[in-house]
Amino acid sequence: MRRDLRLLKSILPAWAIALLRRLRGLLRRGRQLRLQTPRARREAALQELEALPRRPLISLVMPTYRTDPKYLREAVDSVRAQHYPEWELIVVDDGSEDPALERAMSSYAADPRIRFRPLRENAGISAATNAGMELVQGEFVGFLDHDDTLTPDALLRVAQALAEDPELDVVYSDSDKLTIGGVRADPFLKPDWSPVYALGAMYIGHLLVVRTAVARAAGGFDSAFDKIQDFEFMLRVSERTGRIHHIPQILYHWRAIPGSIAAGTEQKSGVEELQARAVSAHLERLGLPARAEPHPAIPHRAVLAPANGATVQPKVSVVVRGREGSPELGRLRRSLEKTAYPELETIVVAKGSRAEAHNRGAAEASGEYLLFLAPDTEIADPAWLSQLVLHASLPDVAAVGPKLIRPDGKVEQAGLAIGLRDPAAPMLAGVDAEGDGYYGALPCSREVSGLSAECMLVARGDFEREGGFLDLYACEYEDLDLCQRLARGGRKCVYAATAVVVTHRSEVSRRAGSDIVDRALFVDTWYDRIAAGDPYFNPGFARQRADYVPSGWLEPVHRAVGAMRSR
């Protein structure tokens, strides 16, 4: 075996050797997993069930239409296999007139928890779901597509979340896909509730469980938005409650069959226009000066634009720590002239640490917003500042940063994630700036835990309320520290995907600017927050870098594929 491994090392690249080693480890782990039988798992679940202080009834509504009986049975059986017993399933057939479907459902007639309601006419998925909601008796209602399945512990995990926080109104989970052959693939590891991200990407999906009173108060599902009915419904639910909890576990398997969006974004036409219309209506109901438009290049993504007639443009003070007459500052000044934003002033501070210089510049500024900008950046898009200010107008937002890209078109950072090995890292660094990232994390704006002072717009009131940047930091981490203080006060930081700024800072310069004392100060100050992990970066991702590679056995496979693609 050792001789064979030495031979392989001589002919295979390093990534392939790493993959073989990981596969060998998986074989060892598989021997251990065989000891964890379904019976043992069920016994463990029963113990968890006994520990629950209360067991609310969870109703599941499943609309069907000419469903393959095989897939329908798998969906229903996945509900019957739940470790959590306090459930009811309401299956509504949307006028299929299919005897095979009725025969499949009749086989469950002995289970009083399962009810079947056939509709005489085909009314659409929203109308069928609403018909099911009329029969709901549970305190909470969840939604299951007719060909998808739940994990056996799905409702138990929901019940545990509700027991831990009885005030919750919404619970959602991670998901993955089932191929036609029944193979699990394409895990979608979601962030905690991220309302800005939800404006651009239909990310909540399934499993979704909502307090029944809230679901009914929201008006149920709207047939005008069939094809994206779950997404539009969740937008209206979020207008009524912020008590929304994410379970970072895969509890739902979404079947990827022809005709389903799970099989590919090209499967349903007209989705982009419906999505933008739903988001625009949502923003209008909230009274925000923004509307949504379909992303010009990436399907099923929306971007924000000023609402029709919106003219408010508060003054912005650009604060730059730089030396007058330097080539980099000259380049920045020339590029700032491209900015299509009228209320703008520039303040250059030549001396002091970055935190000290920025604080001094802020003291001289007269703008409603402060824009901290590194001298080695360059403006590439005339609308960059308008987009930053637009995102700053969203609820509870205190700071906004752009998509920072390198001259070669690769991403430098799309926000910062904390709780990683470093203890923070730039998100999506090195990927194509025009791509989708991970489920829209690159072209869609979203909440983040940190932004860089290379380019950061901060509301003046929030900046002064927090006392500005801390001068204790010599050359780095003062920006991340400010972001944590803003979050502690209930304010948010947002990555604005449609604002693009080029950075010319080299990797050598970044390493030279690192400071071990600054790092220790940040870690010591925010240790609990770092240890808890980033709420906007799923704990299922590998912690080495913020590049959205799932941890565990998927990690070497993803990296191996990436290595082959880069050649």
pLDDT at 42: 82
Numbered ranges of CATH 3.90.550.10 in the chain:
54-267, 316-531
In this structure, are residues 252 and 166 in contact, taking their beta carbons and an 8 Å threshold?
no
**Beta pairing class for 455-459 and 492-503:** unpaired
Checking if the pLDDT of 17 tops 80, the result is no
Q: Is the peptide bond before 296 cis (omega within 30 degrees of 0)?
A: no
pLDDT at 507: 74
Which has the minimum average pLDDT: 192-196, 327-331, 433-437, 461-465? 327-331
Length of the chain in terms of residues written: 567
CATH number of 54-267: 3.90.550.10
pLDDT tens by residue, 245-292: 999 999 999 998 665 554 444 545 689 999 999 999 999 999 999 999
Strands (E) located in 256-385: 290-294, 302-306, 316-321, 344-349, 369-373, 377-379
Which CATH number is 316-531's, of 3.20.20.20, 3.90.550.10, 3.40.50.300, 3.40.50.720? 3.90.550.10
d(CA 49, CA 42): 10
d(CA 471, CA 528): 22
Which percentage of the chain shows pLDDT scores above 90? 77
d(CA 248, CA 189): 7
Tokens of 240: 């009524």
- Is 522 strand, coil or helix? helix
pLDDT tens by residue, 304-354: 999 987 777 999 999 999 888 889 899 999 999 999 998 899 999 988 889
d(CA 385, CA 306): 12
Indicate the pLDDT class of residue 564, thresholds 50, 70 and 90: very low
The vertex-436 CA angle with 432 and 441, nearest 5°, equals 110
The vertex-435 CA angle with 550 and 179, nearest 5°, equals 50
Indicate the pLDDT class of residue 18, thresholds 50, 70 and 90: low
**Beta pairing class for 492-503 and 397-405:** parallel
pLDDT tens by residue, 140-162: 999 999 999 999 999 999 999 99
In this structure, are residues 361 and 346 in contact, taking their beta carbons and an 8 Å threshold?
no
396, 387, 412, 364: which is closest to 509 by C-alpha?
Answer: 412
- Is 76 strand, coil or helix? helix
Indicate the pLDDT class of residue 3, thresholds 50, 70 and 90: very low
Checking if the pLDDT of 168 tops 70, the result is yes
pLDDT tens by residue, 522-538: 999 999 999 999 999 99
In this structure, are residues 91 and 105 in contact, taking their beta carbons and an 8 Å threshold?
yes
pLDDT at 270: 86
Tokens of 184: 């699990």
Higher per-residue confidence, 376 vs 507 = 376
pLDDT at 176: 94
